[in-house]
Amino acid sequence: MENSDQVQLILPPSPTYEKVAQTTIAHLGIRSGFSLKEIEDLRSVMKETTNLFLSTRQWDNPLHLNYQFSQRKMQVTVASQTTVPLEIEEDTFEAFQTLILPLVSDFVFNKEKAWVVFEITTEDEKTS
């Protein structure tokens, strides 16, 4: 990602902090030129991603969120600093994918290393 900025956020493994991740991505989306509808999509993807990690309640490690953003593009990495694979039921993961795949332009999930990366671009960036 050319000419990008980066923000890192470390959250305690508690659902009470998921709003911090959503607010952070919304503010960065505004700064990056996303529309209000796209910012709501950013918030939704962030909520579903943090819920995916926090719902497992496997560990006490914090979530590490890395937001890399430039004009009309954002890439987000969410990871837990663990050597334990993320234990997610297949139905839960399929529901997660069904919700976020229409909203992201790229998505990679590594269950063994407990991280997910997604990229979102603005609508006008997709068409150019």
Domain residue limits, the chain: 5-127
* Confidence class for position 86, pLDDT limits 50, 70, 90: confident
Beta-carbon contacts of residue 106 (< 8 Å; ≥ 6 apart): 75, 117, 118, 119
Does CATH place domain 5-127 in 3.40.1260.10? Answer: no
* pLDDT at residue 84 is higher than 70: yes
Please give the pLDDT value at position 55.
78
Angstrom distance (rounded) from CA 118 to CA 66: 11
Q: Which residue has the higher pLDDT, 45 or 89?
A: 45
Please give the pLDDT value at position 61.
81
List pLDDT tens digits, range 57-72: 666 788 999 999 999 9
Please give the pLDDT value at position 59.
64
